[in-house]
Structure 1
Amino acid sequence: MTRVNVITGFLGSGKTTTLLHLLAHKPANENWAILVNEFGEVGIDGALLADRGATLKEIPGGCMCCVNGLPLQVGLNMLLKKNKPDRLIIEPTGLGHPKQLLDMLRAAVYQPWIQVDATLTLLDPRQLADARVVENENFRDQLTAADIIVANKSDRWSEEDRQRLQQWQQHNLGDRQLVESAWGKVDPALLCQSALADRAVPEAAHHHHTSRPKGLAALKLEGSARWRRALNEGQGYASCGWIFDGDTVFDTIPALEWARLAPVDRVKGVLRTPDGLVNINRQGDDFFMETRTTTPPDSRIELIHHQSVDWNVLQTTLLRIRLD
């Protein structure tokens, strides 16, 4: 039987970083699989999580609850049938709603095959000061669905952030466990905890629009194309992602500055540079980059913002920092 965890949380709460930490501490004798969903089309998390010791399946381009959960069911069934993992971790998009996903996992048809363990919801307490985030239905419902709440990025909290977290706990925590973490460094034993009694999580009420039909694969280049972009809109957010072929190399410093200064809420990317592979992860003013010696087959970058952006202006600058 496969034990399943859902790790959810709003945009920029640190889900992927937490997954990387958990994978680094995976028991050597266990076979793990990751099912990851992204709001954008190009599949950044798949590149970040690749070659980390677990089977990976991506569902890009929206949230898992869309289209009656069909992309999720197909991806889940493929992993269970082909890989038979000991543990499956599902990471929905930060703009996704948890109810339909959890209802499907608890359906009678899956009971002989999976055991649903604790759902972890990551929370950056600094977001409690942002009315636009606090009023977002998905943000609230992700927290309602949690068995364990991980208050993440504690190394960046102010005293006001901690006070807001304490006030939130008093009114919302109930019988749930809350743990603090920095850089997603949570105890892997949390995954083995049982799910609590089912709570009343409201139904998702949203519309999702994409630039192409949803599938089970990230965006790819076709023919002799050197690069391609894809747009997505939904949940009051817009995204634009680019994929570049394996011969494209970016000038390191200008690429980092482009990502740091882009007037958007969220930036994630995996870029080929003369210095090797550069992972870029930015949420608001928080900027993290990591250089690795491995070389990815291509370069990918995704931007997300809470309103429309002139993507052409950002694209023009991005294209200029490619090296010949």
Structure 2
Amino acid sequence: MKIIATPKVIPVHIISGFLGAGKTTLLKHLLSQKPDGEVWAVLMNEFGQIGVDQALLPQDQGYAVKELLGGCLCCSSQMPMQIALSRLLSENKPDRLFIEPTGLGHPAQLLEQLTEPHWQSHLNMRALVTVVDASRLHDHEWSKQHLYADQLKAAHIVALSHVDCMSDEDQHALEALKLEYQPYQQLWLDAPFGQLSLAQLDVGYQYGTRKMQPLLQRVKQQPELAQQVIKQLPYHYVETTQEYSVAGWKLPKSWHFNFMDLLDLLCEQQDWLRIKGIFSTDAGWKSFNFNPAQFNYQSVEEGIDNRIEMIYRTSTEVRDWLAFETALMQCRIVETE
């Protein structure tokens, strides 16, 4: 795709968050900080076909607001987003750009798109912001959804809305959440009524090292696959920050596992900080949430895929993830004709 050249590299802020978290309220407050003489642009994404949020944003001179309706700009249909963004940049030549994906979106996928080489000479990605409704942290059915967790894990900055309405239960849940996500080294900020200064969010995006590959067993059989970066299930990935690493596997929803074998395998692991996973098993869908103090597992609703992540401290020790993956695959129930 041809990208129309722009005269400068534009700071870009992704403002993500689950449904009703307060993304648009925060965005309105940020837009109110626009210096005179600058043009700021907003690209919004509504999952449905009728846009509402655009009407809530300033339509004065110096702002350019464009909505992308239908579907999610984070996911597979990338071309409409690429076209809309290219037009927005070429027609309005903004000094700063804000992108608000739908509350049903996966911001990590959007960030991955916008940090591809062909965008890097045009866009200066800033820290990804995820807005969290702090008054709903006590609602475990809300906060334990996979999409909610994916959005939170993608964040570099977590903006806490509705902090004035937090209960004691919410406060306890917040402390537990910060502890759980400590390996991702995020900045947590209170944002009452969406009030945060742009300076607090205008932090450069730190390019992490995340390598997604085919399953390690396939790489062993075909070493040339080690150079491939894939996005289709099944795959294995390793993500590294300064102090922590995360090894993960995402596997097709249609795969089923023996629950007792899987539980034994996870209990046998050593030198980890947290193990989280969800699997379709012969005992139903089960989630696992292990920390060194306790091993928790429970029945859950059907997931979108089978997945597991193991968080550990980064060290010089080489971990034998092939051996773990091999043992994991041995827990799979393979139906024979």
- TM-score range (shorter-chain normalised) is 0.5 to 0.7
Among 119, 137, 149, the residue aligned to 2:158:
149
- SS of the aligned residue for 2:109 comes to helix
Note the alpha carbon deviations across 1:193-219, whole angstroms, 9 max, x for none. Answer: 1113326599699xxxxxxxxxxxxxx
Q: Determine whether 1:2 maps to 2:10.
A: yes
Letter in 2 for 1:41: Q
User: 1:144, 1:199 within 8 Å by CA — same for their partners in 2?
Assistant: no
In structure 2, the partner of 1:110 is 119
In structure 2, the partner of 1:187 is 197
User: 2:157, 2:201 within 8 Å by CA — same for their partners in 1?
Assistant: no
Counterparts in 2 of 1:187 and 1:127: CA distance versus 1, 3 Å:
same
Q: Determine whether 1:99 maps to 2:143.
A: no
Cα distance in 2 for partners of 1:167, 1:185 equals 24
Identity %: 40
User: 1:8, 1:92 within 8 Å by CA — same for their partners in 2?
Assistant: yes
Among 81, 94, 97, the residue aligned to 2:90:
81
Among 31, 34, 44, the residue aligned to 1:23:
31
Counterparts in 2 of 1:199 and 1:98: CA distance versus 1, 3 Å:
farther
User: 1:38, 1:59 within 8 Å by CA — same for their partners in 2?
Assistant: yes
Letter in 1 for 2:148: F
Larger relative contact order, structure 1 or 2 (CA cutoff 8 Å, min sep 6):
1
Give the CA deviation at 1:100: 2.1
Note the alpha carbon deviations across 1:8-37, whole angstroms, 9 max, x for none. Answer: 000111000001111111122322100000
Aligned positions of 1:224-243 closer than 5 A = none
User: 2:135, 2:170 within 8 Å by CA — same for their partners in 1?
Assistant: yes
In structure 2, the partner of 1:242 is none
Q: Determine whether 1:128 maps to 2:137.
A: yes
Structure 2: which 5+ residue stretches go unaligned? 1-8, 213-230, 234-337
Give the CA deviation at 1:73: 0.6
Cα distance in 2 for partners of 1:161, 1:128 equals 5
Letter in 1 for 2:203: Q
Give the CA deviation at 1:83: 1.3
Cα distance in 2 for partners of 1:65, 1:93 equals 9
In structure 2, the partner of 1:197 is 207
Q: Determine whether 1:48 maps to 2:56.
A: yes
Cα distance in 2 for partners of 1:167, 1:95 equals 24
- SS of the aligned residue for 2:206 comes to coil
- SS of the aligned residue for 1:129 comes to coil
In structure 1, the partner of 2:182 is 173
Counterparts in 2 of 1:135 and 1:87: CA distance versus 1, 3 Å:
same
- SS of the aligned residue for 2:12 comes to strand
User: 2:72, 2:105 within 8 Å by CA — same for their partners in 1?
Assistant: yes
Letter in 1 for 2:180: H
- SS of the aligned residue for 1:20 comes to helix
- SS of the aligned residue for 1:93 comes to coil
Structure 1: which 5+ residue stretches go unaligned? 206-324
Among 51, 65, 74, the residue aligned to 2:74:
65
Aligned positions of 1:245-256 closer than 5 A = none
In structure 2, the partner of 1:312 is none
Counterparts in 2 of 1:22 and 1:106: CA distance versus 1, 3 Å:
same
Extract structure 1 runs of 4+ deviating beyond 4 A: 199-205
User: 1:37, 1:93 within 8 Å by CA — same for their partners in 2?
Assistant: yes
Larger radius of gyration: 2
User: 1:7, 1:120 within 8 Å by CA — same for their partners in 2?
Assistant: yes
Letter in 1 for 2:188: L
User: 1:69, 1:100 within 8 Å by CA — same for their partners in 2?
Assistant: no
- SS of the aligned residue for 1:183 comes to helix
Give the CA deviation at 1:65: 2.7
TM-score, structure 1 normalization: 0.59
Letter in 2 for 1:181: A
User: 2:75, 2:110 within 8 Å by CA — same for their partners in 1?
Assistant: no
Aligned pair count reads 205
- SS of the aligned residue for 2:80 comes to helix
TM-score, structure 2 normalization: 0.57
